[in-house]
Amino acid sequence: MPESITITDNRNGETIEIPIVDGGVSAAEWAKLLPGIWFYDPAFMTTAVTESSITWIDGDAGKLEYRGYPIEQLAERSTYLEVAYLLLRGDLPNRQQLDEWTHEITYHTFIHENVRKRFLEGFHYDAHPMGILVSAVAALSTFYPEAKDIFDPATRYKQIIRLIAKMPTLAAAAHRFSAGMPFVYPDNSLNFPANFLSMMWKTAEPRFDANPALARAVDVLFILHADHEQNCSTTAMRVVGSSHADPYSACAAAAAALYGPRHGGANEAVIRMLGSIGSVENVPDFVKAVKEGHGRLQGFGHRVYKNYDPRAKIIRQVAYDVFDSTGKNPLLDIALKLEEAALGDEYFVSRKLYPNVDFYSGLIYQAMGFPMEMFPVLFAIPRTAGWLAHWVELLDQDQKIARPRQLYIGSARRDYVPLEER
């Protein structure tokens, strides 16, 4: 059986055979037979925008791998910084490479004083931390004008280090500002997650030593959120990157895409939903209402996964580890009941709606004391590694500027009518 398809243009009987390669067919081949006839594919539902060797997902089987390594093994044995290296460089680092990488990132965590004093402090007192983060990342491009030199390997590498290193500092600064708390400088003696927790929670003590179980939980959550192939924010990164904008501007666009409730804002929506359900007894009525079309079951369903999201399985376990230290989140029982009800209900089963990564992550963040506004920010910190890995891949592929086509359905040509005659 040939691994190809044959397309016939019924207007003139011409045909073309297109090979199926790596699970796709080339649109360039299609265009040879049908120039000017476009694929109509809103939301890129069936379009592969690139070849990629970073992340592999089998949505039907519920499998996820970074550079070939199963997410379960990375979550159990690796760290976020090691995973960031893996995503960006393609292989796990050896001891010396990891030490250098960790050192570089640790010594680029500080932000320019003007970013903090003049820029961050200019926001309104109740500014959403995600809005602050999006703007602050874009503002970094003005502090590092050399970042425009995206084809110089050393300059490119420097901006990658800066972005990964400064995201937690900006994130914590955004929180401290909105909470009316003074800024905490990075502590280079702490590891990546412990330093982030120190910048978040330190008050008067000379050194903030995070509970190791909580620091590890943050690291695991960072690993799980580090990449997810061509998701909405990564696509934003690629589209902006394809215009050869600097990486700070492209990352700001990606972070803006992550801000939306359908993407990085879903874990906040889960907590609000669980709070509105109120108690385990109300779960059946809530499920009934969703089935009747009143809202969605937040944290359920995924464009790619038609099975249990493998990240959700790991997060469910992390939740119990965190609750051992923080005490159980009172919303957990409602979440468990809701999951049980949905997984046993024909409506959700037939649509292959399973818990996704966000179903349990908000419960953990809330138990650790993070305000809900910080949830998308907590997603943006590690996703920066994924955004940058795809950005590097895009530049190395020397892809053209992203510029899709449209099917025009608007008015035919008509003449301008002066205002007084309309």
Q: Which residues bind ligand CMC (CB under 6 A)?
A: 228, 231, 262-264, 266, 290, 296-303, 351, 353, 356-358
Strand partners, 58: 63
Q: What's the token pair of residue 9?
A: 């243009």
Q: Which residue is nearest to ligand CMC (CB)?
A: 301
- Could you tell me the smallest distance in angstroms from the CB atom of residue 266 to ligand CMC? 3
Determine phi and psi for 30, rounding to 5 degrees.
-55, -45
- Could you tell me the smallest distance in angstroms from the CB atom of residue 286 to ligand CMC? 11
Nearer to ligand CMC among residue 65 and residue 187 (C-beta): 65
Compute the distance between CA of residue 65 and CA of residue 70 in angstroms, rounded to an integer.
4
Nearer to ligand CMC among residue 175 and residue 228 (C-beta): 228
User: Known catalytic residue: 294?
Assistant: no
Compute the distance between CA of residue 341 and CA of residue 41 in angstroms, rounded to an integer.
34
User: Known catalytic residue: 302?
Assistant: yes
- Could you tell me the smallest distance in angstroms from the CB atom of residue 59 to ligand CMC? 10
Nearer to ligand CMC among residue 129 and residue 264 (C-beta): 264
Strand partners, 36: none
Nearer to ligand CMC among residue 64 and residue 245 (C-beta): 64
Compute the distance between CA of residue 364 and CA of residue 358 in angstroms, rounded to an integer.
10
Nearer to ligand CMC among residue 19 and residue 260 (C-beta): 260
CA distances to 263, 270, 357 from 360, in Å: 15, 8, 7
Find the catalytic residue in 263, 321, 333, 345: 263
Q: Please compute, for residue 23, the number of CA atoms within 13 A of its CA located in the half-sphere on the CB side.
A: 9
Nearer to ligand CMC among residue 105 and residue 255 (C-beta): 255
Compute the distance between CA of residue 286 and CA of residue 276 in angstroms, rounded to an integer.
10
Strand partners, 300: 355
- Could you tell me the smallest distance in angstroms from the CB atom of residue 231 to ligand CMC? 5
369-401: b (≥16 Cβ within 10 Å) or e: ebebbbbbbbbbbbbbbbbbbbbbbbbeeeeee
User: Known catalytic residue: 358?
Assistant: yes
62 Cβ contact partners less than 8 Å away, ≥ 6 residues apart: 305, 307, 308, 309, 310, 354
Find the catalytic residue in 175, 228, 302, 390: 302
Query: Which H/E stretch holds residue 137?
Result: helix 129-143
Q: List active site positions.
A: 263, 302, 358
